[in-house]
Amino acid sequence: MKFFLLLSAIGFCWAQYAPNTKPGKTSIVHLFEWRWADIALECERYLGPKGFGGVQISPPNENVVINNPSRPWWERYQPISYKLCTRSGNEDEFKDMVTRCNNAGVHIYVDAVINHVCGHGVAAGTGSTCGSYFNPGNRDFPAIPFSAWDFNDGKCRTGSGDIENYNDPYQVRDCRLSGLLDLALEKDYVRSKIAEYLNHLIDLGVAGFRIDASKHMWPGDMKAILDKLHNLNTTWFPEGSKPFIYQEVIDLGGEPIKSSDYFENGRVTEFKYGAKLGTVLRKWHGEKMAYLKSWGEGWGFMPSDRALVFVDNHDNQRGHGAGGASILTFWDPRLYKMGVGFMLAHPYGFTRVMSSFRWPRYFQNGKDINDWVGPPNNNGVIKEVTINEDTTCGNDWVCEHRWRQIRNMVMFRNVVDGQPFTNWWDNGSNQVAFGRGNKGFIVFNNDDWPLSLTLQTGLPAGTYCDVISGDKIGDNCTGIKIYVSGDGKAHFSVSNSAEDPFIAIHAESKLYNLN
Ligand code: AAO
């Protein structure tokens, strides 16, 4: 037993599960493809004041410029050097963003693409975002530098050199993911170059990393890289803080590689979460919200303190990656708001909110043929995120994180942080409600008939503003008011045809001058 404890102490001594967000801040937002200059502004003018803990940014390092198709979003997943130089901005702009966001209490989480460099078929002489030369044909990446020795070509045993079968863990780790040149991560030299890149980012003040394509790296190789990382910059983080690590592993069940294989390194993305939540809210396969009573580990998900959860991500909102048709996105706003609302109210996992750009979706035979379309741009230059008078975004930036219902539920999650899951109620169908201790309560009606009843909220007596239909402004509600009586009970009416058929109240949406 003692030996086991010692082993697990050693084995787990590195892993960083804590997100390094400021106390009481419980979510991050993925500002997909935003420019660093816009993120800096957003941290100061919106994310800090509204209680967001951090931002996941798109890969900041130099990548291939793909012109056919024209500048797809996915070119950023084809690195060719670790210079901080992309369509989102250069190193000075990156530094400015990290500094200003940290100063606003909002931390930066970098999408780290370290499993591979660009596709093997990319021609030498193709442009790159910082102008560095590279030649995939002879595996020459002088700006790092990596050369033929640094890739897994000799190790992969498939005919094509690509992953052909996800049931073979050796292929998944040693062969190319979609033709992307696979780095030999067992080599100390390769590990050191990657660690140097990540340490540069840490020293500039980032708080953690999404590790892209983690499934395609051996957990031990990744651990060896993580072991080389610095502690976080003490200008903004307590002495001895380690970067937050969340690994992108798609485990929907049915493959030999499991999320749990990666727990020793940090948290892991729980892809079952969005796939199942979408199925429930769409009422597919006989699913109903009443079953959400046991949501979380009860649904076969990984332990809550290992999970990074989201309703959709940049891949599965457009048919890449995994999750399938059930995934809810901004294209289905009514269900999407309920999905994100449920996620943010429920205690399971560490939550990431998606913030997208709009693209001309065009389905042919069930597949969106415009799934590649890059961010809003003028001749390839990413467009500014403009802010409309009503606080929404312009220039085709969707800014889900600014939708009142989502923004207010981010605050709800902060307010109920640490409170237990309590006072569950359901009608056996798609009307459900639950509380978070004595701090918050939420009611959903996803049935085709109205909801009208009195429920135990667990909250102190008072008048509360529903933060879905409106805001608490000064000492008034712009939306629905809910009256909680001395016994904690309140009456709720949620029409099935309401714009947003759910109601949420919390300790900070209470009106103090009444009661
Ligand atoms: C582009 C082109 C390619 C070209 C390549 C190289 O599109 O045609 O060959 O360049 O020139 C992104 C894009 C890619 C793009 C790439 C590089 O999505 O289209 O390729 O940039 O520019 C796997 C990985 C996962 C990965 C996901 C997309 O495991 O790591 O594919 N996500 C990350 C990023 C993503 C990025 C990369 C990785 C690469 O988030 O944006 O790619 O840096 C199964 C497996 C999954 C696997 C999927 C998809 O999933 O389990 O691990 O994800 O297949 O291949 C059911 C199953 C489910 C299954 C799913 C799909 O749902 O239950 O398990 O079906 O079959």
pLDDT in tens, 280-326: 999 999 999 999 999 999 999 999 999 999 999 999 999 999 988 99
The shares of helix, strand and coil residues in the chain, as percent rounded to the nearest 5, are 30, 25, 45
Which whole number is the average pLDDT over 210-222? 98
Is the minimum distance from the CB of 213 to ligand 1 under 6 angstroms?
yes
Which whole number is the average pLDDT over 375-401? 98
Query: For residue 145, is the peptide bond before it cis, meaning its omega torsion is within 30 degrees of 0?
Result: yes
User: What pLDDT was estimated at residue 507?
Assistant: 98
Ligand 1: centre distance to CA 440 (Å): 38
225 phi/psi in degrees, rounded to 5: -70, -45
- Could you tell me how far CA 244 lies from the centroid of its own chain? 13
Is residue 118's pLDDT more than 60?
Answer: yes
Of the candidates 113, 107, 96, 352, the one whose C-alpha atom is nearest the C-alpha of residue 232 is 107
User: What pLDDT was estimated at residue 12?
Assistant: 46
Which residue is it, tokens 């749990």?
260
382 phi/psi in degrees, rounded to 5: -60, 135
User: What pLDDT was estimated at residue 357?
Assistant: 98
Is residue 4's pLDDT more than 80?
Answer: no
Is the minimum distance from the CB of 162 to ligand 1 under 6 angstroms?
no
Is the minimum distance from the CB of 212 to ligand 1 under 6 angstroms?
yes
- Judge contact between 21 and 53, C-beta under 8 A: yes
Q: Any idea which of 13-22, 127-136, 182-191, 504-513 has the lowest mean pLDDT? A: 13-22
Is the minimum distance from the CB of 182 to ligand 1 under 6 angstroms?
no
Is the minimum distance from the CB of 113 to ligand 1 under 6 angstroms?
yes
User: What pLDDT was estimated at residue 15?
Assistant: 78
Is the minimum distance from the CB of 359 to ligand 1 under 6 angstroms?
no
**Sequence ranges of the domains in the chain:** 17-269+357-397, 421-509
Does residue 297 have an active-site annotation? no
Residues 6+ apart with CB under 8 A from 273: 301, 307, 309, 310, 311, 343, 348, 349
Is residue 1's pLDDT more than 60?
Answer: no
Choosing from 33, 93, 182, 212, which is the catalytic residue? 212
Q: Which residues pair with 247 in a beta bridge?
A: 211, 268
- Judge contact between 14 and 38, C-beta under 8 A: no
- Judge contact between 383 and 71, C-beta under 8 A: no
Confidence band for 444, pLDDT divided at 50, 70 and 90: very high
- With 0-12 / 13-18 / 19 or more C-beta atoms within 10 angstroms meaning exposed / middle / buried, residue 472 is buried
Confidence band for 10, pLDDT divided at 50, 70 and 90: very low
Ligand 1, atom 46, residue with closest C-alpha:
250
- With 0-12 / 13-18 / 19 or more C-beta atoms within 10 angstroms meaning exposed / middle / buried, residue 37 is middle
Ligand 1: centre distance to CA 427 (Å): 40
Q: Tell me which of 2.60.40.1180, 1.10.1750.10, 2.60.40.10, 3.30.360.10 is the CATH number of domain 421-509.
A: 2.60.40.1180
pLDDT tens digits for range 334-371:
999 999 999 999 999 999 999 999 999 999 999 999 99
* Cα–Cα dist 28/108, whole Å: 9
Q: Which residues pair with 177 in a beta bridge?
A: 180
- Judge contact between 229 and 196, C-beta under 8 A: no
Q: What is the atom index within ligand 1 of the atom nearest the CA of 77?
A: 43
Q: What is the DSSP letter of 370?
A: T
Ligand 1: centre distance to CA 165 (Å): 13
User: What pLDDT was estimated at residue 125?
Assistant: 86
Is the minimum distance from the CB of 180 to ligand 1 under 6 angstroms?
yes
Of the candidates 308, 94, 116, 81, the one whose C-alpha atom is nearest the C-alpha of residue 201 is 94
Q: Any idea which of 125-129, 132-136, 170-174 has the lowest mean pLDDT? A: 125-129
For a substitution probing ligand 1, which of 177, 327, 371 has the most ligand atoms within 8 Å of its CB? 177
Ligand 1, atom 2, residue with closest C-alpha:
178
pLDDT tens digits for range 30-79:
999 999 999 999 999 999 999 999 999 999 999 999 999 999 999 999 99
Confidence band for 514, pLDDT divided at 50, 70 and 90: low
pLDDT tens digits for range 231-262:
999 999 999 999 999 999 999 999 999 999 99
Does residue 75 have an active-site annotation? no
Is the minimum distance from the CB of 215 to ligand 1 under 6 angstroms?
yes
Rounded to 10 deg, the angle between the 188-204 and 219-226 helix axes is 50
Ligand 1, atom 41, residue with closest C-alpha:
315
Which whole number is the average pLDDT over 158-183? 98
Is residue 3's pLDDT more than 60?
Answer: no
Residues 6+ apart with CB under 8 A from 261: 219, 249
Ligand 1: centre distance to CA 59 (Å): 16
For a substitution probing ligand 1, which of 113, 246, 262, 320 has the most ligand atoms within 8 Å of its CB? 320
Choosing from 111, 150, 248, 466, which is the catalytic residue? 248
Ligand 1: centre distance to CA 84 (Å): 24
Which whole number is the average pLDDT over 114-118? 98
Mean pLDDT, the chain, integer: 96
Of the candidates 403, 111, 32, the one whose C-alpha atom is nearest the C-alpha of residue 269 is 111
pTM: 0.97
* Cα–Cα dist 427/450, whole Å: 12
Q: What is the dihedral of CA 494, 496, 498, 504, to 10 degrees?
A: 40
Q: Which fold has domain 17-269+357-397?
A: TIM Barrel (3.20.20)
